[in-house]
């Protein structure tokens, strides 16, 4: 421990009167100064500090950080449409307006305006989902991971749940199908092999204790070569003969055709799945949510399970989800940003190139390959076109773009910063151009 360092620490009064802290509100300045002095004292006592930093400057930095919103809008120039680190799906304008309306005031979240009686929280999403999917009933919870957990808990606890060894996947973070099944109380019965599983394998595994047959969509990987996997219809038949439900975790869940070879939710239900589970913020292009749709008795068993209350949706998410679903009902899918981005051919780079004329960098338009991202359409390549910037160290330029406001997140590859217009929203080209110009001037 260095006593001289402790003695060098400025007294609170002197620190508070430092001219560079003059612009801070009194309480913020006093509170931050005290925290910084505590932090430095702890560092000195622990022997971690060998010299004092510029203390007023550190107070100013910490105070600014405390006043600054961490979660902010970012411009996605990566071309990866469902970028998990960038918040997955950007919402449609109508969805944003619906969120604003219910968030900035009160709402009829659980009130029937016609009668003045209590209404259901999910009333607004029920009808559009049932209409779009042709199913008996549907509910939604916090995300698809929650939907899987809820379905297994409500329908499979204490019973055997038959799953193919090729589908015991890990989705991300710590969400693994076998773990989630153990947590739900369902007993996992594995059948088949990693690459090949047949309907007969499921059939042979049926016992008196069977409670569910489950199929999991390979959302974030692809098994190629010597592979076999029963269809939804074949598994639905096995489940029906065993008199148990067949549930399918679709992960992404496409609502419109043409998104790679991703199965459409309505088709899977028509093929005989009794209950399907899918995300709100993958191919649907809505807010983070997990939708459970299918047979009424199964949906209602999930709805009535105590876990439902712990996983239920907030009014802002419900507003965004309902508005997005109503765009599908009205056939206005061109207003859903992710649908447009995923079905676009090679994007036009002309506006970006024109804006960057004379910026001092080497600007090239190059063909490239993009991906949808976000655990959807694995291996499905999106032929794309990017603006490649060279002439400065790409990591430095990328850092400069990320750390301004609004932040611009590009891709870095081939010793260049790559800007893909696919994921730029209306009006963002000007922001990107301004960001690149400022970043290059600042160097
Ligand atoms: C993405 C995915 C999940 C998890 O969905 P979230 O909405 O991200 O919670 C579960 N299962 C499959 C097959 C998925 O692809």
Per-residue pLDDT at 437 exceeds 80: yes
Report the pLDDT value the prediction gives residue 194, as an integer from 0 to 100: 86
Closest C-alpha among 368, 441, 381, 440 to residue 411 = 368
What does 38-100 look like in DSSP terms, one character per residue? HHHHHHHHTT--SS---HHHHHHHHHHHHHS-SS--EEE-S--TT-GGGTSPPPPHHHHHHHH
Q: Please tell me if the CB atom of residue 153 comes closer than 6 angstroms to any atom of ligand 1.
A: no
Domain positions in the chain are: 3-66, 74-84+342-442, 93-335
Report the pLDDT value the prediction gives residue 209, as an integer from 0 to 100: 97
CATH numeric code, 74-84+342-442 = 3.90.1150.180
Instruction: State pLDDT tens for residues 299-332.
Output: 999 999 999 999 999 999 999 999 999 999 999 9
Q: Please tell me if the CB atom of residue 171 comes closer than 6 angstroms to any atom of ligand 1.
A: yes
Per-residue pLDDT at 412 exceeds 90: yes
- pTM, two decimal places: 0.92
Q: Give yes or no for a cis peptide into 96 (omega within 30° of 0).
A: no
Percent of residues, the chain, with pLDDT higher than 70: 98
CATH numeric code, 93-335 = 3.40.640.10
Q: What is the mean pLDDT of the chain?
A: 94
Q: Please tell me if the CB atom of residue 145 comes closer than 6 angstroms to any atom of ligand 1.
A: yes
Report the pLDDT value the prediction gives residue 360, as an integer from 0 to 100: 94
Query: What is the C-alpha separation between 349 and 119, in angstroms, rounded?
Result: 49
Nearest CA to ligand 1 atom 5: 144
The residue to mutate among 375, 376, 377, 379, having the most atoms of ligand 1 within 8 angstroms of its beta carbon, is: 375
Per-residue pLDDT at 169 exceeds 90: no
Nearest CA to ligand 1 atom 6: 144
Query: What is the C-alpha separation between 328 and 263, in angstroms, rounded?
Result: 17
What does 140-186 look like in DSSP terms, one character per residue? EES-HHHHHHHHHHHHHTTSEEEEEGGG--EEETTEEHHHHHHHHTP
3-state helix, strand, coil in the chain (%, to 5): 45, 20, 40
Per-residue pLDDT at 227 exceeds 90: no
The residue to mutate among 163, 168, 279, 290, having the most atoms of ligand 1 within 8 angstroms of its beta carbon, is: 279
Per-residue pLDDT at 51 exceeds 70: yes
Say if residues 35 and 63 touch (Cβ distance below 8 Å).
no
Report the pLDDT value the prediction gives residue 276, as an integer from 0 to 100: 98
């Amino acid at each position: 421990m260095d006593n001289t360092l402790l003695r060098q620490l400025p007294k609170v009064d002197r620190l508070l009167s430092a001219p560079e802290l003059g612009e801070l509100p009194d309480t913020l300045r006093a509170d931050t100064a005290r925290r910084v002095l505590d932090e430095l004292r702890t560092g000195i006592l622990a022997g971690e500090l060998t010299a004092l930093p510029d203390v007023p400057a550190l107070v100013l930095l910490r105070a600014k950080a405390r006043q600054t919103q961490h979660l902010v809008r970012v411009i996605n120039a990566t071309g990866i449409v469902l970028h998990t680190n960038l918040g997955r799906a950007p919402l449609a304008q109508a969805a944003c307006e619906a969120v604003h309306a219910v968030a900035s005031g009160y709402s009829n979240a659980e009130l029937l305006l016609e009668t003045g009686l209590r209404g259901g929280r999910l009333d607004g999403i029920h009808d559009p989902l049932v209409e779009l999917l042709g199913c008996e009933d549907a509910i939604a919870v916090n995300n698809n991971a929650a939907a899987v957990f809820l379905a297994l808990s409500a329908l499979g606890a204490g019973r055997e749940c038959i799953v193919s060894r090729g589908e015991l996947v890990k989705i991300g973070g710590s969400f693994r199908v076998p773990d989630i099944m153990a947590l739900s109380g369902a007993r996992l019965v594995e059948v088949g092999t990693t690459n090949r599983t047949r309907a007969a394998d499921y059939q042979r595994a049926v016992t008196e204790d069977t409670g569910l047959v489950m199929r999991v969509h390979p959302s974030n990987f692809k098994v190629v070569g010597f592979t076999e996997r029963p269809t939804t219809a074949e598994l639905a038949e096995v489940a029906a003969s065993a008199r148990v439900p067949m549930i399918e975790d679709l992960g992404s869940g496409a609502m419109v055709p043409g998104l790679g070879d991703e199965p459409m939710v309505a088709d899977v239900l028509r093929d005989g799945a009794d209950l399907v589970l899918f995300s709100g913020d993958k191919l649907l292009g809505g807010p983070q949510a997990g939708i459970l749709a299918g047979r009424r008795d199964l949906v209602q068993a999930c709805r009535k399970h105590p876990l439902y209350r712990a996983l239920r949706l907030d009014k802002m998410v419900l507003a965004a989800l309902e508005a997005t679903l109503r765009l599908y009902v009205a056939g206005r899918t061109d207003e859903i940003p992710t649908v447009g981005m995923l079905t676009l051919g090679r994007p036009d780079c002309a506006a970006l190139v024109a804006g960057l004329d004379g910026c001092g960098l080497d600007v090239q338009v190059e063909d490239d390959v993009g991906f949808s991202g976000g655990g959807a359409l694995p291996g499905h390549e999106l032929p794309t076109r990017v603006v490649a910037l060279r002439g400065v160290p790409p990591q430095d330029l990328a850092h400069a773009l990320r750390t301004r406001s609004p932040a611009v997140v590009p891709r870095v590859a081939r010793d260049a910063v790559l800007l893909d217009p696919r994921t730029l929203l209306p009006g963002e080209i000007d922001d990107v151009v301004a960001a690149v110009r400022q970043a290059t001037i600042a160097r």
